[in-house]
Amino acid sequence: MNRNLLKGIKRKNFLVIEIILLMMIGLIFPSCSKTTEAPAAENPFFSEYNTPFKVPPFDIIKPEHFIPAYEKGMEEHKADIEAIVNNTEATSFDNTIVALDRSGKLLSKVSKVFSGLSSANTNDELKEIQKEMSPRLAAHRDEINLNKKLFERVKAEYEQRDQLNLNDEQMYLIENLYKGYVRNGANLNDEDQAKLKEINQKISKVRVQFGQNVLAETNEFKLVVENEEDLAGLPESSITGAVEAAKEAGLEGKWVFTTHKPSMIPFLQYSEKRDLREKLYRAYTKRGDNDNERDNKKILSDLIKLRVERANLLGYKTYADYILERRMAGNSQNVYELLNRLWDASLPIAKREAKELQAIIDAEGDGFKLASWDWWYYAEKLRKQKYELDDTELRPYFVLNNVRDGAFWVANQLYGLTFEELEGMPLPHPDAQVFEVKEADGSHCGILYMDFHPRTSKRGGAWCGTYRSQSRKYGEEVDPVVNLVCNFSKPSGDNPAMITLEEVETLFHEFGHALDNLLSNITYGTTFRSPDFSELPSQIMEHWAMEPTVLKHYAKHYQTGEAIPDKLIDKIVKSGLFNQGFITVEYLAASLLDMKYHTITEPQDLDINQFEKAYFDKIGLIPEIISRYRGTYFNHIIGGYAAGYYGYIWSGVLDCDAFEAFKETSLFDQKTANAFKISILEKNGTADYMSMYVNFRGREPKIEPLLKKRGLK
């Protein structure tokens, strides 16, 4: 169906957590709190949002609104389910599957807002609410997942699906909805269902505690520099940021560096003080592993153990078997084949890179062996030697708002979208920006929030979600409200915010997720997404970020306004394969660790540090490189990327091959862009993954473009 033929067809959803999905896979609820209940009349969740574009009224939502709204949402959801199971009419697609999809409207509404706020702007109250509500919500999901009468109706429709004259989206929905109920214990006996409920409760609690511990550890550490000579080598932007961080910490006259990456990475790249680099990097890699009240070793061991118990109870040998059954990869063997092939290709390159860095150390007469906290510093020196390029030379051209506008421009060239910044809108945080997104014909497409800067109330990393997802639900066209969140350096002094080359790619990456949300064109709120496919829309956008034509458009010097010169673009292109051994090995180590944890076959108590060391020794990880994530702060595998962190490289095969389709025609070829939009962006979560890709590309993906991009071929 052509969306522009339907007035107001709006889009999307990145990790669609609609209530049915909410019920079926569980949700990490960030932080919130207990307080006195607000009177119903004052609770903004209990009525239609009276805001422009019906965005959440962030300015009047308070912590005390959440628990009453959650409770009412669960009550209404239960009533919706009772109405379905007590319907005396014969089961039908409409009175069972569609009714189930439409159930829990309030609960979904509250959950999305809470999830967004508690991830990006948490506080003690929200953290307490998260602790209280997480097990209660797990119990609520189980009550619905294990409702025998409801499952009987779903099963009846599933078994007669071939006689129902369903379209492709409806068939995919009913098949996956049924499988979801089975995977969540609907076929278990009463005794095993009781065990499953207990396990789910425990899992919900440990996941919350893990995430809160990581955030607390990240926020607590401060590298305080008191002597100016200890700033040797640091760029002015890094020093200015440290001055401002010191002021925020009440340490005026000093300099503060943290384990937030915008602060840490420049320090590791440029600081001449090796002992301080070590101190900062060790603090980062020891998060959750300090034998204190925020230690995550036992929590992670308990979680892995619970996941194995859950998988075994449901009839799976490992948790990875359970997870991968619904992913594009299909099974552990396929994942390991890809990861091991890339590991064997990249590890020798990383070893060669380590020798090059050691040669610099030896040539300078420093007389020590390269360590993990040295890699960034000497890699930066090597990049200068090889390509006469360093990050400080590039950064003046990467003004954050200009890079943002560059991403907007690419979306306009590909899909005709325009982005208009809105004033006077409710904001989830004062730092946030908000835009109305319009179609090429000027019609409304959706709302995009962008929140770029780090703070103690925000977890690390970058992500994209929705406050409202696109669908044609509840008898109306529902347009998306998308939320893109990053952690980039703030403006310093009189200078605008300027970001690194890596952060430029991160912005384009998350913007790709945003487009996936905005351009969704689906009917039902219940979707079935896979991380190893859903990274395709995000990662393909990174390719445009470094294209010379695109760079010329957005990379303007913050003082002169001049476009980035050709000689710098040439250096960027030539340095494209630089440090790829390190980058690939660091990532693959984390992916393999994730799989190792989740292919354990029997519940056991793990010594996390010993387990990881033994595994990394076995696969030959060199000591100069530490896995991108150690288990004690590996937030991805606590949430939706358990047995799924490989998905970035799996999608890397897809995005490199997909971008070749544009290179074979032209960078902004409209026929190719339209095919990608219709086959991938509009349908994500509602069709078979490989079928979507083949519909776009005309064939299955090839690995060669990925190998070429990473210098592994």
First to last CA, the chain: 42
b/e per residue 297-328 (b: at least 16 CB within 10 A): bebbbbbbbbbbbbbbebebebbbbbbbeebb
**DSSP 8-state secondary structure symbol assigned to residue 286:** T
386 alpha-carbon distance from chain centroid: 34
Which residues, including other chains, have CB under 8 Å from residue 135's CB and lie 6 or more apart?
A: 201, 204, 205
| Sequential DSSP letters for 673-701 | HHHHIIIIITTTTSS-HHHHHHHHHSS--
User: Beta-carbon neighbour count of residue 83 at 10 Å?
Assistant: 12
Which residues, including other chains, have CB under 8 Å from residue 468's CB and lie 6 or more apart?
A: 54, 55, 109, 112, 478, 479, 480, 481
Q: Cα separation of 94 and 113, whole Å? A: 28
Q: Phi then psi for 653, rounded to 5 degrees?
A: -60, -45
In the annotation, is 510 catalytic?
yes
Q: Cα separation of 662 and 482, whole Å? A: 27
| Sequential DSSP letters for 238-259 | HHHHHHHHHHHTT-TTSEEE-S
Cβ proximity of 273 and 230 under 8 Å = yes
Closest to 409 (Cα-Cα) out of 664, 657, 656, 668: 668
Q: Which residues pair with 476 in a beta bridge?
A: 473
User: Beta-carbon neighbour count of residue 334 at 10 Å?
Assistant: 16
Q: Phi then psi for 519, rounded to 5 degrees?
A: -100, 10
Q: Which helix (H) or strand (E) holds 306?
A: helix 297-313
Cβ proximity of 375 and 586 under 8 Å = no
Report the SS3 class of residue 420: strand
Q: Which one of the listed residues 439, 503, 510, 535 is annotated catalytic?
A: 510
Q: Which residues pair with 471 in a beta bridge?
A: 478
Cβ proximity of 360 and 349 under 8 Å = no
Q: Which residues pair with 477 in a beta bridge?
A: 472
530 alpha-carbon distance from chain centroid: 12
- Residues acting as catalytic residues: 510
